[in-house]
Structures are given as C-alpha cells and as structure tokens.
Structure 1
Amino acid sequence: MYFTARERNLLRLLTGHEQLRTVKELAGELGVSERTIHRDLSVLEKTLDGFGLSLRKQAGVGVSLEGDPTGVESLRAALTGAPETDFTPEERKTHLLCTLLETSEPVKLTVLARDLGVAPATVRQDLERVEDWLHPFDLALVKKRGWGIQVIGGENNRRAAMRSLLADHVDEAEILGLLKQSLGRKALEPSGIIMERLLGLVERERLVQVEEAVQAEIGGLPYTLADSAYIGLVVHVALALERIEKGETLRFDPDLLQSLQQGQEHEVAKKIAARLAVVSDKEVPDAEIANIVLHLRGAKRGDDRGFWFEDDSGTTVAETRELIRRVGEEIDVPLEQDPSLIRGLLAHLERAVYRMKENLPIHNPLLERIETDYPELFETVGQVMEETFPHYEIPREEIGYLVMHFGAALERRQRGRPLHALAICASGIGTSKLLASRLQTEFPEIVRVDTASFGEVRRTDPQKYDLILSTIPVEMDGIDYIRVNPYLSEGDAVRIRSYLNERRRRQAVKMQPERTGEVTDEPRILESMKTIRKTAEIALTLLEGYSLSSLRDSSLSGVLQKACGRLEAEGILHDAATVAGKLAAREQLGGLGIPGTGMALFHGRSDRVWKPSFTMYNLEQPLEVEGMDGNRMEMTRLLLLLAPEKEEEAEQELLSRISALTIEVPALFQSGGEGDIRAFLAEQLNRTLHEKLDEQRSVEP
C-alpha cells in the first residue's frame, strides 16, 4: 500500500500512544495548516475503511481512530512496510512549489525534507531551482535560519504562478476532468502523488461549484469563450476562492477598479460572484470581481469580431498589417495577401494586446517545440513585435503563438491551400468541440474544423476533408481517420503531423503534370467559382431579407401565421397558412426555446418557401413555449429561420451558422437592435465566405 510522506506521518501520529489529538496539534506537528489536515483526513477516510477503522472527530476534544484494535495493528504494519517515496528532482521541485505557493507562512526546512523523504541538504539544492522558477513571476524565496522558507510577492503574482504550475504539468483541458474524479487515489507511483499534490491546490468540490456558477452566467456575454479559456477561467476563480478563504485578496488602483466596474463583463462577473457567495458563505470583494472581469475580457474567443476593442480596433488592424509586412520583408516572403494569416493574427493580437496591457499571464505549452522548429522565425517575430508594440513587454509565450501563425502561413504557401478537418465524438457536441479547439491551437494551418457525432458521420463526405480525427472507434468503409485523445496529446500531434506530411508528399507526386502543355483543370475551376458565387448570393439574400419587427397575438399559431403572412407579402414564400402549420407541428416534436433567454428559434424547410430567410419578431404579448431543455419558458422574441425544401449545401451551411450563433451569442440576439444584429450577421457571413474562398484555392492551377 502506498502513502504520501505527510499521510504516513499523520497516520503514525494517530496510531501512536497518544491517540487523541486536536487538528491544531496535528497541524503543528506536521508544519502545515489546519485546513490541510482536514483535507488529508478526508482523503484518508476510504483508506481507513479498508482496515475496519473510521475517524472520530469531536469538536473541541480532538481526532482519533475507532474500530477493531487488530485494524490499528494492521495499519501500523502497513505503514512500516510501505516504501518510502523516491521522487525525481523535477517532482521534488513541483512538490516544493505547491507547498510554498499555497501557504503565506514560513515553512521549516526540516518539515519540507520530511515530506519529501530526503535530507535537508537535498532540499536546499532543490530550493535553488525553485527560486529560478519563481523569478519570472516577480516572486522571491526568503530563507532564514530558525524561521523557515517563504515565498514573498504580490497576491496576483502568486496566483499566476499557481495557475502556471498547474498548466505546466496538466493540460488545461484535463484539469477539469481530473479534479472531478473521485477522491480515491488510483495512481501509486510517485508521479501520481505529485499529480495529487498539484490538484490539491484547488479543492475538487469547489471547482465543481465554480464551474456551475460560471456556466450559468457566461451566456450573458456578447461573445463566447474558447474551451481552454473557459477551463482556465474556472481554475482561476477556484484558486481565487481558495486564497480569499485564507485572507489573501487582491488590491487594485482605484482608477483601474472603477474602469473595470463597467460593461457586460462586470455584470456577468457580479452574478458569478453572487452565486459563489451563496455556496461558499464568503462575500467576494470588489477587487476580486474586477479580476474576474479582466480574465473574461482576456479569454474571449478569437472569432467573435465586432465586440472587442471597439475604440482601438483600427490601431490593432494597422499594427497587425505592419507586423505582417515587416516579418515578410525580414524573411523575404510576401505574406500580406494571405487572408487566413491576417484574420488569425488580428484575432490573436486583439487579445494579446489586452493581456499585455493588463499584465495578464499566458501559458504556452508548445513554446519549447516552437523555438526548436522555427528558431530564426522566432527571433524575427520577437524583434519585429518589440518594434511594432514598443510600449509593452512581450512574453516569449506570446511570441510563440504568433510564430505558429506565421509558420502556418509559410506552410500554406508551400502546400498551396489551408487545411480542412473533421473531428468526431460520440455526441458531436462535447469532446469534438474540445478537440477542434486543441487542433487549431496545435496546427494553425488548419483553418476550419467541422464537428460531427458518430451518427452524422454516415451522412458526411470524407473526401471534403484533409484530415479526419475521432475520439471513438469508427468502423466504416471509406473513412480514413486517426484515433486521438480529446485533449490531443503530444503523441497524437506527432502522428497527425506525420500523416499530413505524407499526404502532402503523395499529392505532390500525383499532381506533377505530364509535359503535354495541359496543366489546368478548367471544369474544376469553373465549379469552384460557381460555388463561391452561390455562397455570396445566399449570404446577400439572408442579409437583405433580415428584419426585426413586432407582433401581437394571444396564441402561438396566430403569431406564426402573422409572421409567415409578412414573409409572403415580401415574396419569400407562398401559402403562409401551410408554412405556419408546419412550424407549429415542428414545435410539438421538441422544444425550440433557447434556455436562459426569452427567445425561441423556429426553423424548417418547405416547398412553399422560395428563398432562405432569417427574421426576428418582438412579441408584445409573451407566449409560453417548451425550451430545448424540456422546461416550459416564456417567449418574448421569436426567431424564424426558413429554407426551400431542396436546400443547397451553401444554404444549409449559412443557415446552420446563423442557428449556431443564436446559441453562442444569446445576449446579442436577445436584446440587440436590428442594426447591431444585422452588422454582426454581415460580419459572420463574410467570415464564412472567406473560409469558403480559402477552401476553393485548392483548385487554382
């Protein structure tokens, strides 16, 4: 049986001659906080149960073991026979960092040595490496004989270091799943114990509470969060609560604090804090709410344009183009006409500038590999960034992400076009979305990732994709895919890169023209141009037909009839009564209300609809409808999405995009005006059109 050093020492105290001890006494003996003792005792309860023992906790008296005396003897024997931990130097460093960052009090050298099962001299050597690791966070290690060892520095820096320590050892996407696992330990190796120590920085139950609070309120943002950013936010807030309970809170400059107490992010942050105050019985200070605002603004997805840096967006665009021009000049490769590079860099730089302005930390797990793969490009981008953004200190992690964009652009020039991938999981919603996010982080040259469930794969044309990945077995003819972990491990990334390189080599051989003078493929080029034209025409039809108006009727069927009647008058459809009837029937098959809003999205295809249409209606008299979650809700705004019976692929793609946007950005569609929503739709459909252009570049001669 395996025990950590601290667990072994704690159990030895409880099985000793003086078997009744207070938590305060136990904490003093082991040199840790009382809260740590409570946590360790909770973890050990299942272990004790295996010996027929239980913990008896008497308030004001102490803690003792209860049960069969032979169980106590068996436990003593197990402690004697349990192997001492043999940690690697890196594991010892991580363990020391966890201990020292978690406490604001000095810890004695002998206590640290006892926890690790090594000599004090070994810990002294390890502390030199700990000191080096802390330096970039502006944290210092103070060591005084007879007093102990303590980390000194700002609370914000301490939290940044704790988040980085977690991110260094555990993929952000894995943290949530690992912390939600049962408290029983499964790993018996030292590395497993180090993982437990890392995850001990945040209580698992608390992480679940924080996630529920964040999930309930982020729908109020006018943009969505990337999966990794969402998980990072949850971990950040959970760490903040841990620190608040220890009396460690942040302080903000009054002017900065006032500026952060405005906007939708602040409203969302206040609601998250209110939920957490209820479950933790601790009021969240204004400075902590402001810090949540900072992280909300820094965690925004890169593809929600139009809701970010409204005042500064022109400057960011100019600087982005200047960065591309300068880097292109330095490496002697023209990059200014690469739309994917421009869009990708602009989206990233908007967030990066905000992070640098507010000194928000960023972690880049791929930094070492990026520096190895692109050493000259890394130095070039770093130098040009310093000249383009002279007022900011630019972290190497940030430069690494930018190099990935430039590296992808260079590969696109060699390959001739960007890549299109498909991610498959059991439902098509959860892990495939996570996989898609990880994939585009690791491979920026993949400009588009579609997601699908196992059932949807059967209706998918695999020839449309350069790469198909799946988190589940897919036993179907014609599907050439790579099985991967949802978190895209380093091994997965190596296999994917190898596959793409081999595929590119085969295509290069296949496309070598015979020297007959005929090197073009006119039919494919014409078909490509027709596809682009059709997509643009449908996007224009949807934008020109979009409207937001008001309706009044006491029944759902009446509202649908009036809405369809207006569209009939505009030449969008005919036989309004039949179309309205089909929409009402569709509502009977399942809820159409969007949970957490006052909106319902009615949609359908009909041979009585002439052209695709998206319109919205404010209801002067709210109506009760069934929500997508099965609960009844009050509809105050009707969203109507219609398509002809024989829907073309481009129509389906654009209408699906609009449908997804109503779920991803509910706040805008719930309360936005007609002009704001039309502008947002124009921006999103234009983005889709550019993606289609990127896809079709593969047919160019």
Structure 2
Amino acid sequence: MNFSQRELSLIDCLLRENDYVSAQELAETLQMSTKTIYRTIKRINEESPSQPILVAEKGKGYRIDYDRYLKTHYIIKERVQTPIERRKYIMLYLLFRSPNSVQMAYLYEKFFLSIEAINKDIYDMQEYLSSKKLELVKQKKRLKIVGQEKRIREEINRVINDMNILDEATLLLKDGFSKKHDVAFIRKQVTEKIEVPLKKEVPYPYNINIIAHLTILINRFREGRVLSTAYDQISEDEQKRIIENKALYQIANQVIDNVSCYLSVALPEIEVYYLFQYLVSSGISYRQSTNETLLAEAITSDYIEGMSWEYPQIMEQPNLYLDLVNHIRPMLYRVSRQMRITNGMLAEIKGEYANLHQQVCQITKRIEEDYDIKPISEDEIGFLTIYFAKHLEAEKYSKKILIVCSSGVGTSELLRVKVTNAFPEIEILDVLPYGKFMDNLAKYEEIDLILTTVNFTKEVTIPYLLVNCMFTAGDKKMVKKMMSEV
C-alpha cells in the first residue's frame, strides 16, 4: 500500500492502540491539526481497494480494522500503483536489458498514460539515473539505459531493495524479476547447493539478497549485453579472504557453474567472486581475520555498554553478546563494501520501538566516528534494534501453536518471544519459513493454531491468523478471541 509518511504515521499510531482514538488525540500525538487528521483518514480509506480500513464511530473516534488492514496490505503491495512505483518498474525492466533498447509503447501499454505523463516520467528517470552515473537514452520512440556494468547491477539491486520485499516468493514471481521457469532453478541453488553443504538455512534478509543476486545475474546475461571488459580486478586482500574461506568459494563456484549450464553461456570467473561476496556478507559460514574479529567484538561491547545506560536490564541477558557479535561481523563486511540489505519491517520497528531505535541510532553515530567506519544504513540499524528488543522482552517462555514467517532468525524469534509474553500458557512448537511449512503441511495437522506473517496462497485447513511481525495490540486481541474458539 503506497502511503505518504504522514499517512503511515497515523496508521502506526492506530496500530499501537487497542481501541478507538479521537481525532483530537491523534492530532496532539502527531502534531497535526484536526482538519489534517480528517483529510489523512479520508485519503487512507480511498486507497483501500474495497472497504475502508479506518473505522469511525460517533463519540469514540477512529480505530483500524486490523484484519482488513493486513489483507489489504498484502493485496496492494503486489500492484504497481504510484508514479514512483511505475518508474521503478520501468527502470528495472530497462536495467535488466541494458544497453539494449525497448519500445516505449511496450513499456507503457499497461499504464494508459498521456504523452505528457510519459515525457514527465522520462525526464524524472533521466534526472535520477544521472545522479547514479547512468544515462537514460531516448531514440526514436525507444528507451535504453547505458553505463558501467557495476553501476547497472548496483542500481538493479537498489530498486529491488526499495520495493521492501519480505519473502523470496514475492521476489521471484514479481513482474520484471524472473520468468516462471527460473523460479525452481533459483530456489534449488539456494536450498540444495548452498544450504545443504552449509547444513543451515540462509535467514532473511540474506536469502533475499542471494536470490536477488542470482535473479539479476540470470536476467543480465539473458536479456542484456554484458561486456567482458565490465569487471574489476580482485584485490590482494580479497584473494586472501578467498583462500581463508575455500569451502564458501567452492560453493559459489558450483552455483555459478550451474547457472552457466542453465543459460548455456560461459560466465566470467569474476561472477564466482561476486556470489562469494554475498555468501560472506550473510555471515552463514565465514572466517575473519583476527583484526576483523577484534573490531566486531569491540563494537559489540560498545553497543551493549551504550544501551545499558538507558536499559540496564540488558546486562543480565547472557546470550545478547553472542547474538549481536554474530550479526555485527558480517554487517561490518557489508558496510565496508557498501553492500546494501533491505529491512522490510523498518517502519514497524520504528513505530513499535521508537525510543529503542532512536537510542541505537545515537550509539551508531558515535561508533562510526570512534572507529572511523563508513555510515551504517538505517536498514542495518533496524536489525540491530531487533536484537536488543528480542532480549529486552525475553523474560518468560495448553494450545499448540506454529509460527510461520518469511523473515529470519532475529525477527522470527522476536515474534516468538512477544507471543509467549502475551500468552505464557500456549506452547509454540516451531517457527518455520513459509516455503518449508507449505512443503510439509501434513506434518502439522495436530496444530491448534497458526500465526503467520505471510498471507497463505494455498488452502490451509488448520485455523490460522495473519498477524503483524511486531505483534501489536490488535494482534493480541485477535489471538485471544481465536484461542477461545479453537
């Protein structure tokens, strides 16, 4: 659902409440006039494809129809709707095919725009791409993007990240990413060629990064024209890193060999190194130098010490240090190489844990200065916030419940803790990724209730509830009601 920051703030405010909120209270909380509140509510409801998601009752105010909001959110996010989303879609299509050109009529046939609107799109895209040192060229009613291969791939990855994709199915099946026959191949590379040798699943968001990388690779060599002169040389430090992580490099080499056979194209050896970088950045199996390890440990200690001034109870969480240092090690690798990951739950994290997130931001700025490291992105800060939130809420662990998530260990475990805090009497049997649950439906027939952050696309006979990954007051109310019925 494509909302402005003002609209998102109002929605977040109502999500945190469990009852009606008056327009005056909303105005005071959000520092807006009541007229602006009324206009914002009207705009939000106009965006809903069917019934309004914000409900009004005279004398009480407004509340969010939580179930309708969740379902509408999943429906709307599959559609290209706003001019910004439309331009992202077109740029992505052209970037995959660069430097080949595409007819403008083909690009815009589904949008039904005037010539003036199309020309405005082209101007805005030219301005944007110019800032990224890429050029959008218009020639005889055709468009193409030209530039260095490295910058083209960086921009593809940036556009994909900006789309806030939370699960691999959305990424693989979304228009402009993959053809249907690519889906099984890409999934097989991740599950059989990466996860099986490593004996562990690649968690969110690293699974999305690796899948996005393979998707970009396949599309670039199939649809575009990639020159052999487009690649950088591997530095001595990186060659040493490859030697220290031979097993990981061999996995990358096997996957790239498979992609070469799949495309019937001899891929340059540097593609192995590029995939190796993504595997290293996930931290799933990575040997660091002593200096890198010491840096990660020092920064982890500084984060914990800094947070303890505001939240002294975190010093009593024995597993926090290990969880955090295992996240910070690959994070520093990504930061040093400017490898971007996306945090699809950033808005929810900032809304649910505003003070905690702000504290992490402040400490991050000090750490950047003290250790002279490159800026840590807001997405990365969001993931750090999740680890502190998880341990701050982890105090205590009749019905058998299963949690199905598209996200990784940090967010999944946080949801587990939040559910058990709210309902200590229930038994959470497992937390599963969506794909694994769907592949083993028969195994979970005795489950009483499923809490899922992913909208099921297949029929599921077990009672289930679609919930927010932050498990808000609205979620708790729905679970309580459902628990009395199952």
Task: Indicate the TM-score class for this superposition, using the shorter chain for normalisation.
Answer: 0.5 to 0.7
Q: Tell me which residue corresponds to 1:269.
A: 252
Q: Tell me which residue corresponds to 1:285.
A: 268
Paired with 1:110 and 1:504, the residues of 2 have a C-alpha distance of 49
Q: Which amino acid aligns with 1:159?
A: R
1:97 partnered with 2:91: yes
Aligned residues: 372
Paired with 2:96 and 2:260, the residues of 1 have a C-alpha distance of 22
Q: Tell me which residue corresponds to 2:359.
A: 380
Out of 152, 156, 160, the position equivalent to 1:162 is 156
Paired with 2:311 and 2:190, the residues of 1 have a C-alpha distance of 46
Out of 225, 231, 240, the position equivalent to 1:247 is 225
Contact 2:166 2:406 in 1 (8 A): no
Cα distance change on mapping 1:291 and 1:423 into 2, 3 Å: farther
1:112 positional shift: 4.3
Superposed, 1:111-126 pairs within 5 Å as 112-114=107-109, 116-126=111-121
Contact 2:405 2:431 in 1 (8 A): no
Cα distance change on mapping 1:387 and 1:492 into 2, 3 Å: same
Indicate the SS of the match to 2:225: coil
Paired with 2:127 and 2:389, the residues of 1 have a C-alpha distance of 31
1:293 positional shift: 0.5
Paired with 1:132 and 1:362, the residues of 2 have a C-alpha distance of 24
Deviations 1:386-429 (A, max 9, x none): 322431221111111112222334444xxxx055x9764xxxxx
Give the TM-score of the pair, scaled to structure 1: 0.45
Paired with 1:243 and 1:367, the residues of 2 have a C-alpha distance of 30
Paired with 1:439 and 1:273, the residues of 2 have a C-alpha distance of 27
1:146 positional shift: 6.0
Paired with 1:86 and 1:343, the residues of 2 have a C-alpha distance of 41
1:285 positional shift: 0.9
Q: Which amino acid aligns with 1:363?
A: T
1:171 positional shift: 3.2
Paired with 2:418 and 2:195, the residues of 1 have a C-alpha distance of 24
1:500 positional shift: 7.4
Paired with 2:400 and 2:133, the residues of 1 have a C-alpha distance of 44
Cα distance change on mapping 1:291 and 1:215 into 2, 3 Å: same
Q: Tell me which residue corresponds to 2:327.
A: 348
Indicate the SS of the match to 1:277: helix
Paired with 2:430 and 2:207, the residues of 1 have a C-alpha distance of 26
Q: Tell me which residue corresponds to 1:397.
A: 379
Paired with 2:130 and 2:306, the residues of 1 have a C-alpha distance of 32
Q: Which has the higher contact order (CA 8 A, sep 6+)?
A: 2
Q: Tell me which residue corresponds to 2:472.
A: 497
1:234 partnered with 2:202: no
1:345 positional shift: 1.6
Superposed, 1:158-557 pairs within 5 Å as 158-166=152-160, 168=163, 170-175=165-170, 179=173, 195=174, 198=175, 200-218=176-194, 221-222=197-198, 224-228=200-204, 229-230=206-207, 232-245=209-222, 246-248=224-226, 251-255=231-235, 258-259=239-240, 261-262=242-243, 263-301=246-284, 307-309=286-288, 311=290, 312-329=292-309, 331=310, 333-389=312-368, 390-412=372-394, 417=395, 419=397, 424=402, 435=405, 437-438=407-408, 440-441=410-411, 444=414, 446=416, 463-465=426-428, 481-484=449-452, 491-493=466-468, 496-498=471-473
1:325 positional shift: 0.9
Superposed, 1:529-678 pairs within 5 Å as none
Contact 1:378 1:403 in 2 (8 A): yes
Cα distance change on mapping 1:327 and 1:156 into 2, 3 Å: farther
Paired with 2:357 and 2:451, the residues of 1 have a C-alpha distance of 32
1:295 positional shift: 1.0
Q: Which amino acid aligns with 1:481?
A: L
Superposed, 1:126-165 pairs within 5 Å as 126-127=121-122, 130=125, 138=132, 140-142=134-136, 149-165=143-159
Cα distance change on mapping 1:481 and 1:217 into 2, 3 Å: closer
Paired with 1:350 and 1:153, the residues of 2 have a C-alpha distance of 33
Cα distance change on mapping 1:485 and 1:107 into 2, 3 Å: same
Q: Which amino acid aligns with 2:278?
A: H
Deviations 1:425-447 (A, max 9, x none): xxxxxxx7x63855742563646
Indicate the SS of the match to 2:379: helix
Q: Which amino acid aligns with 2:239?
A: Q
Q: Tell me which residue corresponds to 2:66.
A: none
Contact 2:300 2:321 in 1 (8 A): yes
When the two chains are superposed, the root-mean-square deviation of aligned CA atoms in Å is 4.4
Paired with 1:407 and 1:495, the residues of 2 have a C-alpha distance of 10
Q: Tell me which residue corresponds to 1:656.
A: none
Q: Which amino acid aligns with 1:339?
A: P
Paired with 1:383 and 1:498, the residues of 2 have a C-alpha distance of 28
Paired with 2:190 and 2:409, the residues of 1 have a C-alpha distance of 25
Paired with 2:419 and 2:158, the residues of 1 have a C-alpha distance of 28
Q: Which amino acid aligns with 1:117?
A: F
Deviations 1:631-674 (A, max 9, x none): xxxxxxxxxxxxxxxxxxxxxxxxxxxxxxxxxxxxxxxxxxxx
Paired with 2:151 and 2:144, the residues of 1 have a C-alpha distance of 14
Indicate the SS of the match to 1:116: coil
Cα distance change on mapping 1:466 and 1:129 into 2, 3 Å: farther
1:163 positional shift: 4.0
Paired with 1:481 and 1:258, the residues of 2 have a C-alpha distance of 50
Paired with 2:220 and 2:448, the residues of 1 have a C-alpha distance of 49
Deviations 1:515-538 (A, max 9, x none): xxxxxxxxxxxxxxxxxxxxxxxx
Paired with 1:387 and 1:290, the residues of 2 have a C-alpha distance of 33
1:254 positional shift: 3.3
Deviations 1:258-301 (A, max 9, x none): 34543211111122222232232211211111001111112244
Indicate the SS of the match to 1:339: coil
1:243 positional shift: 1.3
Which sits farther off after the overlay, 217-226 or 285-294? 217-226
1:488 positional shift: 8.5
Which sits farther off after the overlay, 463-472 or 347-356? 463-472
Which sits farther off after the overlay, 389-398 or 214-223? 214-223
1:117 positional shift: 2.4
Paired with 1:358 and 1:495, the residues of 2 have a C-alpha distance of 30
1:122 positional shift: 0.8
Cα distance change on mapping 1:462 and 1:353 into 2, 3 Å: same
Paired with 1:112 and 1:463, the residues of 2 have a C-alpha distance of 52
Cα distance change on mapping 1:132 and 1:350 into 2, 3 Å: farther
1:234 positional shift: 3.3
